[in-house]
Chain A
Amino acid sequence: MALECLVTMGPRSVSTRSETHVLADAAAHGDTVAFDRLVAEYHERVLNVAYRMVSRREDAEDICQEVFVKAFTALPRLRDRSQFGSWLLRITANCARDALRRRRRRKDDLDLDEIGPVPSDDDHARETERDDASRVVQRLLMGLPERHRIVLVLRDIEGLSYEEMAQALSCTVSSVKNRLHRARKLFRERLEPYVKADEV
């Protein structure tokens, strides 16, 4: 049953929840091909969430690997496998948090000046203005407390629904909304000096 799904799915297609469920079930029983499909599906998102949380590409890639290894190991114990995506993001958030703790322990805290433009494969498409803006955004994100940063990343960058966020953060929808409200307010207040007054 997993196989039909695998054959019909293109590599770039977005799985529906039930497709994810089927793949996750197969992967939980040790099907590495099914798991590879899930990696293909979620790699980009996990990488970007991790990057927004830790601001270093190498660290984000290490987190990715850690996340997928943990997911494969623990998948048999995941009860509701239709929630695989949110569950994966929860692991991502936890791994990112660990990475930041290790960094603090090593006294290797990120220097905000270290944040460069997001490396892009397409050099021609890069514009310095856009790079500057993205750098400012990333610095402001890093200036927020982690619990606020993660909600902004999941909602305003990744576009998750409140329900998905609640699952990924193990809390209620209303507490997601509260956190998001505070996070956006903080972010806006810090962004304010960068926005010209006549810019509407």
Chain B
Amino acid sequence: MAGERGPRRCAWALRQLDCFLDGTIEPSALDAFVAHARNCASCAATLAAAQRAREALGNLPRLTDDQLPARINAAVARVAENDTRTVQRSLARLPRAKPSPGHREALRASVAAQASARAGMCRTFGDRVEALLDGDLPAGLTLALERHAQGCPVCAHTLATAKTGRAALAGAPRLAPAVASRQRIRDAIERIAAGRRRTRRQVAWVGAAVAACLAVVAGLYGSGQWVQPLELIPHSVVADVPASVAESQPVAVAPAEPAPATPPQVEMRVAARPASPPEPSRRAPGPTPREPLWTSRPADDAPAVAANLEGPVDTYVAPPRETIRVASTLPPAADAVGESAAFSGHAEPTSIASAHNVTLAL
């Protein structure tokens, strides 16, 4: 036990100090006290200071003058100061209290929790700032986020950026449609509409003409005056009729459907006609459409365009440009219009503007 060191031992030694100086220390403690004071510099210093203080007090002159209280006070102050320093020094040398591993872990967790709460709030803010601007959040969360932004420069900047972005998009300058571009659209639409009307008339006319021809042919055939008017009948129709049939059943070849009264029906029938010819026996000499009838109808490319228009934006695959063009750019107006004008015999509105006025007047 002798010479034992450590903070507990120092505390014990300091408690024995007065008894030692008074000579009332327990004999059992004396050796241990001395041994510690020899080995412990700070207790030795404290002991020395205490001894000097005792001596100073003991040597005080037996004065009765007025200075006595002041002298005593000064002497006590000196000792006290000395002791305080000594004690402070010895306390500074005490080993630091080490927190237990559990305590350290708890401390670390608490610091991390604070940091992550802050970071979590920042993350929440980043996620919700648009909803915050839209006013879509519950009141409590709105308040919490607003408060957070007031104390967090990062989130304050996020909020400012979001607001600036919204304002910039909403206030983005707008293009005004040019008059020329509007007119271009008008012309294109009018061309398409004219093309449709023309097609209907052409189909009706061709149907009527072919029917009339066949009626003539049938008439001639029936009366025995067959002169082979090949230039009036589509070549394929005549060529495909077996000679025997043509000889023996002339009337059956010409059912001569009357020209349909409603052009749209004719148009549908023509458009729906299969590309491969029907059975020869059922083949009646119907209208054989000429090239322009097929190309000017958008029906052929309808599925492609429809897919284009109905499909979701993301999965949409661009159809071949050529397909679109069939619908949007019609056959050159010059020859087709000449033809149809000859057939129809009445003028059609040349621009939307004129049609416009007429309709509004109604």
**Which residues does A use to contact B, with CB under 8 Å?**
3, 6-7, 30-33, 35-36, 39-40, 43-44, 47-48, 51-52, 57, 60-61, 64-66, 68-70, 72-74, 77-78, 87, 90-91, 93-94, 97-98, 101, 117-121, 130, 133-134, 136-138, 147, 150, 152, 156-157, 159, 168-171, 180-181, 184-185, 187-188, 191-192, 195, 197, 199-200
Contacts and interface: CB of A to CB of B under 8 A. Distances in A.
B136 to A, nearest CB: 10
B175 A32 contact: no
Contacts of B163: 200
Q: Chain A binding site: helix, strand, loop or mixed by DSSP?
A: helix
B309 interface: yes
Interface string B227-268: 000000000000000000000000000000000000000000
Contacts of B305: 70, 73-74
A47 B175 contact: yes
Given A69-B189, A77-B302, A157-B169, A30 B313 contact: no
A130 B189 contact: no
Contacts of A168: 313
B178 interface: yes
B164 A134 contact: no
A187 B327 CA distance: 38
A170 B313 contact: yes
A117 B164 CA distance: 18
A185 to B, nearest CB: 8
A101 B318 contact: yes
Listed from nearest, the 9 A-B pairs whose CB atoms lie closest are A170-B312, A156-B169, A118-B173, A69-B328, A43-B177, A195-B161, A33-B359, A73-B327, A200-B160
Contacts of B158: 188, 192
Contacts of A57: 175
Interface string B188-206: 1110110011000000000
A36 B360 contact: no
A88 to B, nearest CB: 10
Contacts, number: 179
Interface string B49-63: 000000000000000
Given A97-B316, A192-B157, 13 more contacts: A31-B359, A33-B352, A44-B174, A44-B175, A64-B181, A93-B313, A134-B173, A157-B170, A169-B313, A171-B314, A188-B129, A191-B165, A200-B156
A57 B164 CA distance: 25
B33 to A, nearest CB: 68
B130 A72 contact: no
Given A39-B182, A156-B170, A69 B162 contact: no
